Amino acid sequence: MNKTDPPKVLGVFKPVGHTVIAFRSDADMQAAVTALVEQGFVESALVRYAPAEMQAQVDAELQAASPLASFGYELDLVKAHGVLAQSGCSFLVVHAPDDAQAERVAAVARATKAVAGQHYGTFMIEELTELAPGGAPAL
């Protein structure tokens, strides 16, 4: 995935075959990167977003989104990513095109203090983390 030209549907971020994970700290994100590399994921399959980068992407997508985007979950996720970015979260996008890879990424996300995570399939977006630290909804 190229973060300068991220995959979109109806003007909003939809990286099919990827998992998007938010972390409160760079240390937590680095722990996830290390775990994924140890499991055989290559660095080129991992795309990092600083909070400001994600916020800029969110702002651009909210301006460009098609009115039809509001019928799906993608626009809600874009807005949620914006809230997380504003709170200082960094993001890791992992190319995980098959179910086995997606499950390995999900396990790493759960084990490394991810605040939120979603796997983008062709027809469905699967939530990986259900609650943020402290029991509040992550999104």
- Contact in structure between 30 and 21 (CB atoms under 8 Å): no
Is residue 132 in some structural domain?
A: no
Residue 1: inside a domain = no
Q: How many domains does the chain have?
A: 1
Is 100 inside a domain boundary? yes
In a domain? residue 74? yes
The answer to the question of residue 92 being in a domain is yes
Domain containing 44 equals 16-127
Domain assignment present for residue 135? The answer is no
Average the pLDDT over each of 71-85, 106-120, 124-138 and give the range with the smallest value: 124-138
8 lies in a domain? no
- Give the span between the Cα atoms of 83 and 70, in whole angstroms: 17
Confidence band, pLDDT 50/70/90 cuts, at residue 90: very high
What's the predicted TM-score (pTM) here? 0.85
Q: Is residue 62 packed enough to be buried (19+ CB in 10 Å), middle (13-18) or exposed (0-12)?
A: middle
- Residue 6 in domain: no
Task: Give the pLDDT band of residue 135 (cuts 50, 70, 90).
Answer: very low
User: What ranges make up the beta strands (E) of the chain?
Assistant: 8-9, 12-13, 18-23, 46-49, 90-95, 114-120, 125-127
How far does CA 53 lie from the centroid of its chain? 13
